[in-house]
Amino acid sequence: MTKRADTVGIIGAGSFGTALGSVLARAGRRVILWSRDPAVSDAINKTRTCPRLPNAPLPAPLEATADPRRVASEARFLVMAVSSRDVVERAKELGGFLDGSHIVVHAIGAFVTARDKSRAATDRDTGAKTNERVSEVLEQGLPTLKIGAIAGPALPADLAAGEFSSVVVASRFDEVVSEARRLLNAPPILRVYSSKDLAGVELASALSGAYTVALGLCDGLDMGAGPRAVLITRVVAEAGRLIAAAGAEAKTFAGLAGLGNMLVRGGKRIGSEDYQLGRRLAEGVITADSERTEGARAALAGVILADRLRVRMPVLSGVAAVLAGRAEPRDTAKLIGDTVAIEE
Amino acid sequence: MASDRPVREAENRLERFNSDREKLLSEVERRVVARRITEAKTGGDASLEYVLNDVAYSEIKRLEKSKNGAADRWRDLSRRLLTMSEEEKQGELRSLVRYYGGDVVGNFDPRVYKFATGIGPSLLGVLFNPLGSLKEGMAALRNLDNRIHADGEIDIAHACAERGTIVVTPTHSSNMDSPAIGFGLMQAGLPPATYGAGKNLFSNPFISFFMRNLGAYRVDRRLRFELYKDVLKEYSTVLLEHGYHSLFFPGGTRCRSNLVEKHLKLGLLGTTVTAYKNLVREGRANKRLYIVPATINYRLVLEAETLIDDYLAETGKNRYIITDDEFSRVGRMFEFLRKIVAHEGSVIVRFGRPFDPFGNDVTDEGESIDRAGRIVDPASFVRGAEGEVSDDDQRDAEYTRALGRRLSQVYPKLTVFHSTNLLARVLYDAVARQTGTRDIYRLLRATPQQLAVDIPGAIAGVDRLRKRLVERPEWGSEHPHFTEQSSGDKLEDAVKGLSTYHTRPIVERGGDTLHVKDIKLVYYYQNRTAHIPVEGAS
């Protein structure tokens, strides 16, 4: 194998992109990290640390650049690790340097809203006007069709600390999956599983953020282990319904991208942004703040999708109602179960 | 609008087909045999014994009921397989590939082409208008160009045909589609295209004559073994590589429901990626292939009654080959042709902007552009990390599915609605309102009172539907020749068509009321508009 085929380009020097780059570089892979900010790429190259993840040492095979042309020419395999708000613009910047041979997998567990696409300010409550999956947006913005998604309980802090993590990679193209497994698999720290259910993995990943807010609400209301278990199992059921209605596989939510993601981000010890948002809403520290996290945005987008597909989603609707200020957090307990007894 | 450019300007590559014929067949044979021998080394299902046995088994199953001993050859092969050496198996493989290649390969007779595109239509005009007077017949001849009308993105299709090879991909609703698209290409000044036609279609002697001599090759859907499919695909691939403009119906079989096709089977369309990949490998990446979407829109569909029956009964689904439908009855087909000749603009072929084999749009000059409008090198789609051309059947199949998605996205916009479609939609909507259901199976039991629609209301409905079409061009458009026609005249024209062609009237007028006499066919004709939301729901 030659250098280009063995090089991983990472788009975005945020905490996940940097941690992933660090793991891969430690496993001997050549990694090029693209940051739009030259100060960040300079800092990485000079100090071997990233401002967004200062505790992660960055080994030598990892280089940073602010030049998208360079990352596109030196790596065929790219991981897009940017916020869902930035994905459209990054794809636009990068797209001019890619061609049909590139492989792009994204690590964005969110929907892309109309506002993300237009960058035009709209009403906060109805910001989630559309809910395109990230791969759909990338197909529109990049010249390559070889697009995939990675998702799972791989937290930047765990990756940086060398804890065991796993992700699933999904794509319509077998080549994308096999290349992702070849280049990203770095056991025992990072194991990469495969799936053909691209839509399912993306939906599960996005919805898991929304349900992490629900877990935060549950814990913030101090509801105990029983209701928490009911919440999690009902979430698996309703998310599966939505994913199946969208033409993907219901069981995908029960895997790394959905349940795995939700459990790790909704753990009391980890306390992701989505989880903390739920807790603070429950505790009355803040009021409705629908735009604060990816999970909150996913909840609002998810209910629109559910409405369009006519899928009953009591938990997701409840979270969205709280986020939109239409329901009190203490009422969320009523939203956990179904209002009528149905077969599980 | 038909192109002003004469046919001769668009190079008719099929004229050299007969001299290329042997070369093409040999190339197919060489490739299929070489690939099968290489694959056989892995053993198992790929072994030559398995491949040959698959052929013998399938042929015995197909021919065992024939009384002329047609299956004997295959029984003999099956017996001999156990004792054959590897060299003998290779010889048998070569012989079978040649045999099936010979069965598939087409022909092109320039004299027939000249006839078909020259005096043929005029003669047909007289033949198929026996009820009219000589004066009417002559008038029909003069206006023949108006009977099959071609429009759309013709200039860019021309540019693509001159720069590379075009693959025309029309919707498919009738066995008349092949001649219709053939005349459509001629009207547009585009070169003729070779295409695979079901062998059952060759049972119609009239059509068979033209198909055999205008570059059609035979596809025998009864032969389902892998070796035959391999030969067929390779033949199509080789044709494309040699620059023969081709025609595929990506929907596969005729669309039974008359819906604008959405779920495409793609079939031989996948050979476009393979052919282009081979060209790139040979260093001919600039020899481009272009996919030209097209819709064929009929005022009346020859086989409508059989197709909708088949659809509603769900008999056989796509595996079922209708061998005794209207197309196989010569008299019925002549009646259809007579109707075409008698009615201006009976068939309209609309061409869309071409794509490359990967579903990318192309510029007016034929350069591929991505969804964001940037020029992209199509060869890069089949290259690996170091620029090498890589083989990956799954990748290529996925590219073809992506192309299929693009085609199904543009078909609605390219759809042209005749008066028959518009009135059928209005009638169906009215009946649905009166009965409270759009379910065709329930509507089949509707009472005559529920199937009566007042004419002023129907005219108003047609009017509103036309206005909605103007506002939403992505849904398609009405026939360009009749945009100035009043909605009342449009209704009259539709009633005339729907009440006189099929074996019994679909609608009948009674005073100020239209009585739906065949809700199945109303459903069939309105299905062309089914992607348009019900009024008030959009």
Please state, in angstroms and rounded to a whole number, the distance separating the CA atoms of residues A86 and A32: 19
Of B370, B386, B399, the CB nearest to A143: B370
Q: What are phi and psi of B536, to 5 degrees?
A: 90, -15
From A225's Cα to the closest Cα of chain B, the distance in A is 46
Average model confidence (pLDDT) across chain B: 85
Which pLDDT score is estimated for A338? 57
Of B371, B377, B386, the CB nearest to A99: B377
Determine the 3-state secondary structure of B469 from DSSP.
helix
**How do strand A165-171 and strand A190-195 relate by DSSP bridges?**
parallel
Mutate to test the interface with A, among B398, B400, B405 (most CBs of A within 10 A): B398
More reliable by pLDDT, B236 or B135: B236
CB contact under 8 A, B380 and A99: yes
Per residue in B363-387, pLDDT tens?
999 999 998 999 999 999 999 999 9
Mean pLDDT of A196-201: 97
Per residue in A36-67, pLDDT tens?
999 999 999 999 888 888 878 888 889 999 99
CB contact under 8 A, A145 and B358: yes
pTM of the full structure: 0.88
One-letter amino acid of A323: L
From A229's Cα to the closest Cα of chain B, the distance in A is 40
Contacts of B398 in chain A (CB under 8 A): 145, 172-173
CB contact under 8 A, B385 and A99: no
Which pLDDT score is estimated for B343? 58
Does residue A68 carry a pLDDT above 90?
Answer: yes
What's B94-158 look like in SS3? HHHHHHHHHHHCCCECHHHHHHHHCHHHHHHHHHCCCCCCHHHHHHHHHCHHHCEEEEECHHHHH
CB–CB of B290/B356 below 8 Å?
yes
Which pLDDT score is estimated for A129? 45
% of residues, chain B, pLDDT over 70: 83
User: Which uninterrupted H or E stretch holds B166?
Assistant: strand B165-170
Please state, in angstroms and rounded to a whole number, the distance separating the CA atoms of residues B60 and B64: 5
User: What is the full DSSP assignment across B474-486?
Assistant: GG-EE-GGGTTS-
CB contact under 8 A, A140 and B372: yes
Interface of B with A (CB under 8 A): 358-360, 370-372, 374, 376-387, 392, 394-395, 398-399, 401-402
Q: Is A116 left (phi over 0), alpha (psi -120 to 50) or beta?
A: alpha
Q: Is the previous residue joined to B110 through a cis bond, with omega within 30 degrees of 0?
A: no
% of residues, chain B, pLDDT over 90: 60
Which pLDDT score is estimated for B30? 97
Which pLDDT score is estimated for B130? 33
Q: Please name which of B525, B421, B435, B394 lies closest in space to residue A145, comparing C-alpha atoms.
A: B394
Q: E strands, A176-314, where?
A: 190-195
Which pLDDT score is estimated for B506? 95
Q: Averaging pLDDT over each range in A226-230, B266-270, B423-427, which range is the top one?
A: B423-427
CB contact under 8 A, B376 and A99: yes
Does residue A2 carry a pLDDT above 70?
Answer: no
From B390's Cα to the closest Cα of chain A, the distance in A is 10
Looking from the CA of A266 toward its CB, the CA atoms found within 13 Å total 27
For A89, name the nearest residue in chain B, comparing CA atoms only: B372
Please state, in angstroms and rounded to a whole number, the distance separating the CA atoms of residues B24 and B17: 9
CB–CB of B185/B296 below 8 Å?
no
Structure token pair of residue A245 = 């209605």
Structure token pair of residue A277 = 């948002």
Per residue in B157-215, pLDDT tens?
999 999 999 999 999 988 888 878 888 898 899 998 988 888 777 766 666 776 767 77
From A30's Cα to the closest Cα of chain B, the distance in A is 15
Of A100, A141, A142, the CB nearest to B381: A100
CB contact under 8 A, B395 and A173: yes
CB–CB of A176/A146 below 8 Å?
yes
Q: How far apart are the first and last CA of chain A?
A: 50
Contacts of B396 in chain A (CB under 8 A): none
Mean pLDDT of A236-248: 96
Mean pLDDT of B15-34: 91
Of B385, B394, B399, the CB nearest to A145: B399
Contacts of B379 in chain A (CB under 8 A): 100
CB–CB of B50/B44 below 8 Å?
yes
Per residue in A124-173, pLDDT tens?
333 334 578 999 999 999 999 999 999 999 999 899 889 999 999 999 99
Contacts of A95 in chain B (CB under 8 A): 370, 372, 374
Please state, in angstroms and rounded to a whole number, the distance separating the CA atoms of residues B161 and B167: 9
CB contact under 8 A, B380 and A101: yes
**How do strand B361-362 and strand B368-369 relate by DSSP bridges?**
antiparallel
Q: Give B325's pLDDT tier (boundaries 50, 70, 90).
A: low
Q: Give B267's pLDDT tier (boundaries 50, 70, 90).
A: confident
CB–CB of B502/B305 below 8 Å?
yes
CB contact under 8 A, A143 and B374: yes
Which pLDDT score is estimated for B387? 93
One-letter amino acid of B447: T
One-letter amino acid of B350: R
Determine the 3-state secondary structure of B522 from DSSP.
helix
Which pLDDT score is estimated for B119? 52
Give the single-character DSSP code of A258: I
How many residues comprise chain B? Answer: 538
From B235's Cα to the closest Cα of chain A, the distance in A is 26
Lowest mean pLDDT among B14-28, B33-47, B230-244, B338-352: B338-352
One-letter amino acid of A333: A
Contacts of B277 in chain A (CB under 8 A): none
Contacts of B382 in chain A (CB under 8 A): 100
CB–CB of B219/B232 below 8 Å?
yes
More reliable by pLDDT, B105 or B476: B476
Per residue in B464-501, pLDDT tens?
999 999 999 999 999 999 999 999 999 999 999 998 87
Please state, in angstroms and rounded to a whole number, the distance separating the CA atoms of residues A278 and A267: 12
